[in-house]
Structure 1
Amino acid sequence: MIVSRLVHICTLVVSLVVGLDVLDYVDPLIGTANGGHVFPGATLPFGMAKAVADTTRDNQGGFASDSSKVTGFSHVHDSGTGGAASLGNFPLFPQDCPELTKCAWESSKRASNWTNATARPGYFGIELDNGIRAEMTVTNHTALYRFEFANSTNPLILVDLIDLPISRSKGFAAVDSSTGRMTGNGTFSPSFGIGHYNLYFCADFQGAEIHGTGAWQKENASTIKSNISVAGEGSGGVFVRFKKPATDSRTVITARVGISFISIQKACHYGEEEQPGFDLKETVGAAEMAWRAKLGVVSVNTAGASDGLLKSFWSGLYRAMISPQDYTGENPLWDSDEPYYDSFYCIWDSYRAAHPLLTLVDPLSQSRMIRSLVDIYRNEDYLPDCRMSLCKGYTQGGSNADVLMTEAYLKRIPDIDWDTAFEAVVKDAEVEPANWDVEGRGGLNSWKTLGYIPKNNNDTLGTGLKTRSVSRTVEYAYNDFCIAILAKALGHDSDHKKYRQRASNWQNLYNSNQTSSIGNVKTNFTGFLQPRLANGAWAYQDPILCSPLLDFTGCYLTDTGHETYEGSAWMYTFYVPQDMAALIKTLGGSKEFVSRLDFLHESGLLYMGDEQAFLPVYQYHYAGRPALSARRAHSYIPSQFNTSVSGIPGNDDSGAMGSFLVLSMIGLWPIHGQDVYLINPPFFKEVSIRNGITGKLATIRNVNFDASYRNIFIQSVRRDGAKWTKNWIGHDFFLEGGILEIILGERESTWGSKHEDFPPSMSL
């Protein structure tokens, strides 16, 4: 901890010396339109309290820039999720109404147009057309709001016992008529999972005398009642009305809201302990310092770099640190001394880029997250593939926490109980749960005997959606490869052999005779993954189905008829990161592989808004064409990743899109679950990362850097002055520090093109 603080201080000093405040390059509003669902409000790194204005639609992250009305200000949120809206419990809503009968109570009635939304790390502000300016910030468990009423008569603030997905089954609220303190609780459902959770709040106010209090339900309010119980989905809550100031028409009221998953008493304690002074400016300042410390482990030489690229880079890194959320001390489900993180939403998305990025820039937080996952296994019997609001979330493919465990071991993440971690991943591979929609794997009998998940799988061990047989097969194969690597490292030789064999199961769904057409035009490629029946006969799914070219959204979780998830068989045919050499041979050799990969990118088949699209950007390295990986990265950045409010191509998925952007711009793309980084030119003259465990500085430096990006092809590489021919590098570079010099030119060279310089593959 002392070393980590010293690192933060050193990096902060460097930033001050060069006159750069990194927060000036963070725009939390990027990705708040066109379905990006980014949370743009006030939060601490991995913080539990998340305050923002909630809009009427596309409100998965609370606020959407392309939604016109605000319905309230709530205190907990997720970021970047697809599907249903998440959290957004107990919104406050301020309004100025001279009589209670003229107030608007229900969400649809009180919705107000907004203007001038501003966001900065630790701060969010907005103006409503009802004459109210709202500003907000947070501590760990407390949201602080400053409501300024223009030309006020009797300002009123209500609390509504709802959440964004309108999932509440029951709730209770009370108001103290003398102090104005509001307290309450509710029982809600998670947005992408099963079960329910309880949440509690405690709100206090400062700035004006109390005129009256009461309770309300639907459009009826009463000053006689001081509490209310609600059931079902109807709105209701309590309110405080304030006196008009004697000398000024303008009223400023500060609201402090403590949040707890355990009790009202704890929620009130958080408010009193973390925010005793109701001081917005001081709290914003503390949040900014926390963000500077987190972001300060990365430094960039800005010479020649555009403000747009710098803003995209730092904003992406910022979003990668919004979730998972640190709920340590707020888990009512079991007693433990281990950290507890929530909003792993979902590991299917985050294992590909977000967690590898955190391993680089914040390994101590990554350690706490891995420890939390292992502790979830101890207490709930399986590692989660998705988790939110203390509940089990839906699995989307394999058991991808297995990948995180292996990567953490290979990259020397500290303080992990590896015996229990290995026990957990083996259980994923061997023991089918009763409900594999929310944990573990289904179809394990078929997996072990047939070597694939059949389309007509007859599962007698558990229940779950009988779909996604193709995508589950390739993910299970990679999960087992990662288990094999961890088994070998821990000395479990027989397990290593068993899971290494299962890692080749992807080949059992490769139909070498399958052709593909787009419309009535047949492509020049033959051989694709296809569904298969339990008797070994081939079934059929159009290889382009569930791509942007055919029934794009047909393979989402609620579908019950297709065999790939959020993508086509065309795309999933490339998912063999454990053995790219075998895949390239299967697809006809390097030249044919490159041609097919080009077609995937250029035909419209690939959608960059889903995380499975990330790896294909860089798979040219495995065919000895790293220059094409660089060219492909520049084709997507900044065209699809930029500084507009629509500046990401899909849901951010807990920072996944931001992580793809940052890793691409750093120039070292990690192969998840392996100790492999594919070397590419950074988008800047130089990028440095200070390791949070060793304190060592690793620098990736472009020689012949060209800000117009004509020189994007690697001619040669030197590591600490010595020639480096491999087109990849290991994590030891970040642990030990040093300088990786990348010499650039305008044309593709032969660097990284020899077989001995390719990234490792299982069959080599």
Structure 2
Amino acid sequence: MTCTIRIACIISLLHTRVAGVDLTQYVNVFQGTTSGGNRFPGVVAAPFAMVKLGPDVQSGTTDAYSGYLANGSVWGFSMMHESGTGGAPKYGVVSQMPYVGSLANPLIDISQPRTAPDIGTVGYYKSSLANGVSVELAASEHAGLYQYAFPSSDVGTIVVDASHVLPSFRGLGWDQHYKGGNFSMAEDGSYEGSGTYDNGWNLSPDWTIYFCGRFSSTPTSSKSFSGNGATLTSYDTSTPVSGTQRVGGVFTFSPSNVTSRVGISYISTAKACQNLEGEIPAGTDFQSLVSQAKDRWNTEVFSKIQIETANAAGQQLLYSSMLGMFMIPSNLTGENPGWSSPEPYYSDAFTLWDTHRCHTPLFQIIEPVAYEEFIRSLIDIWRHDGYMPDARSSNFNGRTQGGSNADNVLADAYVKGVRGAVNWDDGFAAMQTDAEKTPANNNDPQAPDSSTKEGRGALPDWLTYGYITPTYTRAVSRAVEYASNDFGLYQVASGLGKTAEAATYLERSRNWRNHWNPAAASNNHSGFVVPRLANGSFVPQDPLSCGGCYWRDAYYEDVPWVYSMNMPHDVAELKTRIGGDDKFVDRIDKLFDLNIFSAGNEPGFTSPYLYNFVRGKQYKSVERSRAIGNLYNSGTGGLPGNSDAGAMESNIVWQMIGLWPLTGQTTFLILSPWFSHMTIDLGTGRTLDMSSTGGNKDTAFYIQSLKVNGQQWTQSYVTWGDVFANGGTMEYVLGPTPVDWATGDMPPSPASGDE
């Protein structure tokens, strides 16, 4: 939007900052739903809600990771999904599908194309099907509301299918399976049941979801069914059905408009009914649920960052990205089937490998209460399951792609002052389990050498050699991450006064150096992290190649060039090994000049901002930040890769803020803000107020000068204590050309002895 009339601009700017404004108007729920973003566009009634109600779409052999595909036929509307995940789909359970007319066999394919693109806003979703049925959806945290409009001249039929689950066609052995269920109904058409399923991307064993359904009017006909494949073995009036066959119910209605309410639970059908009646009792107004969802998202998320801008696209990108950040993990407090505990409980973490670099640091700022609960949940999972998860879904740990990155998350929380009800002695014990106890091998076919379920599967080599041999898959990338994980233990041990443990883990955090081969060379650079054998010799390695870059390779999802820059706790040592400041700058440049850097791969997230560790080069971090920002928009293809549960979205929000977090440290590298004014609500009356003058987002974004809390600032970083712990101000003057303003101390490199 270009403001040609000054008064219109002023009104727009003021409107953005008016307390209580509905910021959901700037949200595109379909951001990142195409081009591999895998975002879920359906109804999530509140941050971290258990119910994520939306369509399941099939299109040939394309995996619908979040259930949604822009093209294809809808084959159900189900209650549970994940957002932005990869690997393989998860959930898609407790499904309903409308049909027009009497249905002779509910086990056949009754999927329907859509006659128009789906419509969605925060708290609301609508699909218009080719059979003339429109389906509108709203929800609460543990229950969903379906509103059907059938063609007036036909019988309306609704099929409830307990066997419905999202499939995977990749052939990797990660597809979900329906294992069995039960279904019963009453004369008024109310019904209860459950389904049991397994697998998905985290290779979980059997897990069960219970459901409880009610309709707004009594069906003219209610029938339970069971069968195998598309073959019916039972299709009766009210007989309960159970077993390993497909089970469900078929309900027909004479009214054209039918409302269906459904509650779910991991605990029991009684708990599912309790959730339903407690959250969406009979007579609940559909629009009231939509309004409640908007209010929750406005209050708990969107209002935490207020901006002044005349840039409508920037507004849409900011708030659409904030929605994408907080759909998972799922807050399942009160819904934990594994153990009874007074602690909070969160599942659907996908994955801390993806999110620990920039998502969880922003999670703490935007949702501090939920963040403390999440930290407590990680520790409580360790108490009862033996390990903290790097990922968790359907109440089961898995998959671990690299290190034990819950250690990084706990360290980040600790150094930034998260205390509350967190038991940090137990937290450190949980971290030590990762650092000292080898998990049992779960015999993952994709990486059979060691556990991909939890912990550090390659720990025997790490403890024996101080590096990881090719005996283990992902040896080099795991070693780089184990070093970072051990730095996290050092940070918490230091804070708890455990001096011996702190010394041990600080030394271990330097073990990435044992993979450094100074003779490995590429494009006028020498020194890269490479595989190393038990006899100490290095394996020849092209620094531009990672083989398949997947589970069985030495490097996971990125190349040696990128992993050789992944030591944010030891940057001063890294610079020395690379050859000093000039070579260090040139190496970052070459990540881009040689087209090595991928904005969609998390291992490289921090690399573009390492210029801040070289005096006079902060402006290059800003240039890279702006270039990365240009890869994003609020449209359906607006993410540069898989959302990865909000990792991509948190990345762009940090670009907009103009800071970059170094997880496990209190350091934030200074970039350049996008907006003339931004206020971040830090809770308990604290704010970070950021303003800029003299520049703009696109052509005049270089810092000319900066004041922090009213004082002239000459460092290329700020700390948690400077601007977040008690709030603060950052006042930028921007311009079109670089200025050497950051003449002060460089950011710390704690593992290099430079704190």
Q: TM-score, normalised by structure 2?
A: 0.91
Q: 1:212 to 1:199 in 2, by over 3 A?
A: closer
**Residue 706 of structure 1: CA displacement?**
1.7
**Per the alignment, in what secondary structure is the counterpart of residue 268 of structure 1?**
helix
Q: CA offsets, 1:55-97, max 9 Å, x none?
A: 11442112122x3211100001111000111111021001112
Q: Distance in 2 between matches of 1:64 and 1:118?
A: 13
Aligned to 2:103: 100
Q: CA offsets, 1:490-518, max 9 Å, x none?
A: 100011111111111111111111123xx
Q: Distance in 2 between matches of 1:325 and 1:18?
A: 28
Q: Distance in 1 between matches of 2:257 and 2:650?
A: 39
The 8 Å contact of residues 70 and 114 in structure 1, kept in 2 or not, is answered as no
Query: Once superposed, which parts of structure 1, at least 4 consecutive aligned residues long, lie more than 4 Å away?
Result: 13-16
Q: CA offsets, 1:701-733, max 9 Å, x none?
A: 1121325x2211112210122111111111121
Q: Distance in 2 between matches of 1:300 and 1:228?
A: 53
Q: 1:15 to 1:417 in 2, by over 3 A?
A: farther
**Per the alignment, in what secondary structure is the counterpart of residue 688 of structure 1?**
strand
**In the alignment, does 2:646 pair up with 1:642?**
no
Give the one of 272, 275, 296 matched to 1:267: 272
**In the alignment, does 2:359 pair up with 1:354?**
yes
**Residue 363 of structure 1: CA displacement?**
1.1
Aligned to 1:241: 252
**Per the alignment, in what secondary structure is the counterpart of residue 564 of structure 1?**
coil
Q: CA offsets, 1:643-679, max 9 Å, x none?
A: 2211101111111111001111111111111101111
**Per the alignment, in what secondary structure is the counterpart of residue 229 of structure 1?**
strand
Paired letter, 2:188: T
Aligned to 2:331: 326
The 8 Å contact of residues 126 and 134 in structure 1, kept in 2 or not, is answered as yes
Q: Counterparts of 1:180-579 in structure 2 under 5 Å?
A: 180-193=189-202, 194-207=204-217, 209-217=219-227, 218=230, 220=232, 222-224=235-237, 226-231=239-244, 235-243=246-254, 245=255, 251-276=256-281, 277-304=283-310, 306-413=311-418, 414-435=420-441, 436-456=451-471, 466-516=472-522, 523-546=523-546, 554-557=548-551, 560=552, 562-579=553-570
Paired letter, 1:514: A
**Per the alignment, in what secondary structure is the counterpart of residue 396 of structure 1?**
coil
**Residue 612 of structure 1: CA displacement?**
1.5
Give the one of 156, 164, 188 matched to 1:179: 188
Give the one of 592, 598, 605 matched to 2:596: 605
The 8 Å contact of residues 23 and 303 in structure 2, kept in 1 or not, is answered as no
Q: Counterparts of 1:668-687 in structure 2 under 5 Å?
A: 668-687=659-678
Aligned to 1:596: 587
Aligned to 1:626: 618
Q: Distance in 1 between matches of 2:68 and 2:559?
A: 31
**Per the alignment, in what secondary structure is the counterpart of residue 61 of structure 1?**
coil
Aligned to 2:445: none
Paired letter, 1:748: P
**Identical amino acids, percent of aligned pairs:** 35
**Per the alignment, in what secondary structure is the counterpart of residue 196 of structure 1?**
strand
**Per the alignment, in what secondary structure is the counterpart of residue 300 of structure 1?**
strand
Aligned to 1:29: 30
Aligned to 2:652: 661
**Residue 536 of structure 1: CA displacement?**
0.6
**Residue 18 of structure 1: CA displacement?**
6.4
Q: Distance in 2 between matches of 1:20 and 1:337?
A: 36
Q: Distance in 2 between matches of 1:494 and 1:418?
A: 17
Q: 1:230 to 1:296 in 2, by over 3 A?
A: same
Aligned to 1:736: 726
**Residue 537 of structure 1: CA displacement?**
1.2
Aligned to 1:85: 89
Aligned to 1:248: none
Residues 732-741 or 333-342, more deviating: 732-741
Residues 18-27 or 567-576, more deviating: 18-27
Paired letter, 1:535: N
Q: Distance in 1 between matches of 2:181 and 2:189?
A: 16
Paired letter, 2:320: S
**In the alignment, does 2:572 pair up with 1:581?**
yes
Q: Distance in 2 between matches of 1:190 and 1:430?
A: 28
Q: Distance in 1 between matches of 2:533 and 2:372?
A: 42
Q: Distance in 2 between matches of 1:212 and 1:104?
A: 12
**Residue 14 of structure 1: CA displacement?**
9.0
Q: TM-score, normalised by structure 1?
A: 0.90
Q: Distance in 1 between matches of 2:214 and 2:656?
A: 45
Q: Distance in 2 between matches of 1:324 and 1:357?
A: 14
**Per the alignment, in what secondary structure is the counterpart of residue 80 of structure 1?**
coil
Q: CA offsets, 1:98-140, max 9 Å, x none?
A: x323x6643x442433523111111111111111111111111
**Residue 230 of structure 1: CA displacement?**
4.6
**Residue 475 of structure 1: CA displacement?**
0.5
Paired letter, 2:189: G
The 8 Å contact of residues 215 and 225 in structure 1, kept in 2 or not, is answered as no
The 8 Å contact of residues 657 and 674 in structure 2, kept in 1 or not, is answered as yes
Which structure 2 residue ranges, 5 or more long, are not aligned?
A: 1-13, 168-174, 442-450
Paired letter, 2:495: A
Paired letter, 1:633: S
Paired letter, 1:82: G
Q: 1:468 to 1:14 in 2, by over 3 A?
A: same
**Residue 540 of structure 1: CA displacement?**
3.0
**Residue 621 of structure 1: CA displacement?**
0.8
Paired letter, 1:55: V
Aligned to 1:55: 57
Aligned to 1:688: 679
Q: 1:171 to 1:571 in 2, by over 3 A?
A: same
Paired letter, 2:225: A
**Per the alignment, in what secondary structure is the counterpart of residue 213 of structure 1?**
strand
- Aligned-residue Cα RMSD (Å) equals 1.9
The count of aligned residue pairs is 711
The 8 Å contact of residues 175 and 227 in structure 1, kept in 2 or not, is answered as yes
Q: 1:152 to 1:528 in 2, by over 3 A?
A: farther
Aligned to 1:463: none
Paired letter, 1:635: A
**Residue 631 of structure 1: CA displacement?**
0.6
Aligned to 1:163: 165
The 8 Å contact of residues 16 and 308 in structure 2, kept in 1 or not, is answered as no
**In the alignment, does 2:730 pair up with 1:725?**
no
Q: CA offsets, 1:161-197, max 9 Å, x none?
A: 2211363343223242521122211211142223221
The 8 Å contact of residues 321 and 649 in structure 2, kept in 1 or not, is answered as yes
Q: Distance in 1 between matches of 2:32 and 2:239?
A: 41
**Residue 203 of structure 1: CA displacement?**
1.4
Q: 1:479 to 1:19 in 2, by over 3 A?
A: closer
